[in-house]
Amino acid sequence: MAKNAFRKTSIGRKVLMALSGLFLMLFLLQHLTINMLSVISPDMFNEVSHFMGTNPIVQFLLQPILIAAIIFHFVMGIALDIMNNKAREVKYAYNKPSANSTWMSRNMIITGLVILAFLGLHFYDFWIHEITEKYIEGDMSGLNAQGEFRYHEELVEKFVDIWRVIIYCISFVLLALHLQHGFASAFQSVGARTGKNKTALQKFGNIFAFVVPAGFIFIALFHHFTHGAH
């Protein structure tokens, strides 16, 4: 029997979706840890930002992998949603999905698209600026006109605008909803969820889905109210 390549099978797709999701969750944890430094110690934040922004392994190996994972995750997510919609051509006249599944699990495409839109703004805010500064204008020093590291002040500047803070916070709430299903779901997809660890995985997933976005919300609000509102 002619068989599809692994990446074209239904299980292959969900495994790849789960692996890219797990990788992105690890990235979120690392991103949150570094951002927390901006609250604890601006100097430490500057040091780590400069390291991340100039280290060749981070810049030319990890960064491309991260971008590839993001692109893969949303392209595959959208493609799967289109395929899945086609699997039921005539919809039910009366359907009651709330009786058997959570809103989060059924609406990953909605929460995902909001996060994708947020990523557009986020890349515009930070990534494009960094790439322009470093690789187009060729300034790898990470210093401002006064000869000090520019990273912390640039970060704080972004959170002066209340509307940006509101957009960021709403996006993080949607991220929380996405992770609430995504975390345990990823383990199920790779076959790691069993009867024994099922409850623990869901509980840990709930904690992860709350703590990570709440951390980002805290950082945005912290900078807005301590530095921004002057």
Residue matched to tokens 């995504």: 182
DSSP 137: S
Applying the rule CB under 8 A, the residues between 140 and 159 that interact with another protein are none
In a 10 Å sphere around its CB, with 0-12 CB exposed, 13-18 middle and 19+ buried, how is residue 224 labelled?
Answer: buried
Of the candidates 40, 92, 145, 163, which one interacts with another protein according to CB under 8 A? 92
- d(C-alpha 59, C-alpha 132), whole Å: 14
- The one-letter code for the residue type at 111 is T
- Supply the minimum distance, in Å, between the C-beta of residue 11 and another protein: 5
43 forms beta bridges with none
- Give whichever of 155 and 201 is closer to another protein, judged by the CB atom: 201
Of the candidates 136, 163, 195, 230, which one interacts with another protein according to CB under 8 A? 195
Please, are residues 214 and 31 in contact by the beta-carbon 8 Å criterion? Answer: no
Taking residues 154 to 183 in sequence order and writing x for each that binds another protein by CB under 8 A, - otherwise, the string is ---------------------------x--
Please, are residues 217 and 169 in contact by the beta-carbon 8 Å criterion? Answer: yes
- Give whichever of 106 and 203 is closer to another protein, judged by the CB atom: 106
Neighbouring residues of 105: CB distance < 8 A, sequence distance ≥ 6: 181, 185
- Supply the minimum distance, in Å, between the C-beta of residue 120 and another protein: 24
Taking residues 7 to 46 in sequence order and writing x for each that binds another protein by CB under 8 A, - otherwise, the string is --xxxxxxx-------------------------------
Of the candidates 33, 194, 199, 226, which one interacts with another protein according to CB under 8 A? 194
